[in-house]
Amino acid sequence: DVKVTQSSRYLVKRTGEKVFLECVQDMDHENMFWYRQDPGLGLRLIYFSYDVKMKEKGDIPEGYSVSREKKERFSLILESASTNQTSMYLCASSFALGKSTKNIQYFGAGTRLSVL
Amino acid sequence: SQQGEEDPQALSIQEGENATMNCSYKTSINNLQWYRQNSGRGLVHLILIRSNEREKHSGRLRVTLDTSKKSSSLLITASRAADTASYFCATGPPYGNNRLAFGKGNQVVVIP
């Protein structure tokens, strides 16, 4: 089975702290994604990566950066956490279209981040 | 970017009844997918229907797709308490990258 592992289920940070959310997948997927999920707003894409060291901005990249140094790991970085970044963060991965005709995404269990 | 929109937003049914959810989208798609999310967890893929398909079945799930109306429906037959979850539709673009555009979700509560 595909496994996408997020390093923390719950995280509490202070305003202004630098926060790292880590995600690891074990299926050799080319694509990895970071979403945030807020009540009434659904899933919104922050950043995604289609290869090592490659990244593209999603719909709400402001206040976030990402790092993908190895194929299996995709990190989301909050340079200076703010209270409006309190949210559920979901990581996902998928095969590239060239490897699979189905762009099914596999999700981690999520990290609930509270910024105080 | 295109986005799925589910309707209705919340549904409460008795165990054994059928649950139907709808999803509409705005632009051309390669496929449409449905995902389930149990409370406080990640999303799990349920079923994918391609743009050239009209109906697909998987166990108690039935998905239809009407590309002329840019809409899809998910039917869960003989619902169980374990089907209580949020259900999201997601659309994949006809070309380019592998981004999916997710709807806001549809909460289903199955009462035992």
CA gap A49, A58 in Å, rounded: 10
What is the number of domains present in chain A? 1
Give domain limits for chain B. Answer: 5-111
Which stretch of A30-39, A49-58, B72-81, B95-104 has the lowest confidence by average pLDDT? B95-104
Q: What are the tens digits of pLDDT across the range B82-96?
A: 999 999 999 988 776
The per-residue pLDDT for B1 is: 30
Quote the domain boundaries for residue A45. Answer: 4-115
Nearest CA in chain B to A4: B42
2.40.170.20, 2.60.40.10, 3.40.50.2300, 2.40.70.10: CATH of B5-111: 2.60.40.10
By the 8 A CB rule, do A51 and A66 touch?
no
Q: Is the pLDDT of residue B8 over 60?
A: no
Task: Indicate the pairing of strand B85-92 with strand B31-37.
Answer: antiparallel
Q: What are the tens digits of pLDDT across the range A67-100?
A: 999 999 999 999 999 999 999 999 999 988 766 6
Q: Which of B35, B44, B99 sits opposite A48 (nearest CB)?
A: B99
Q: Do B45 and A90 touch (CB under 8 A)?
A: no
Q: Tokens 């309707």, residue? A: B7
CATH of the domain at A37: 2.60.40.10
Q: Which of A40, A45, A109 sits opposite B99 (nearest CB)?
A: A45
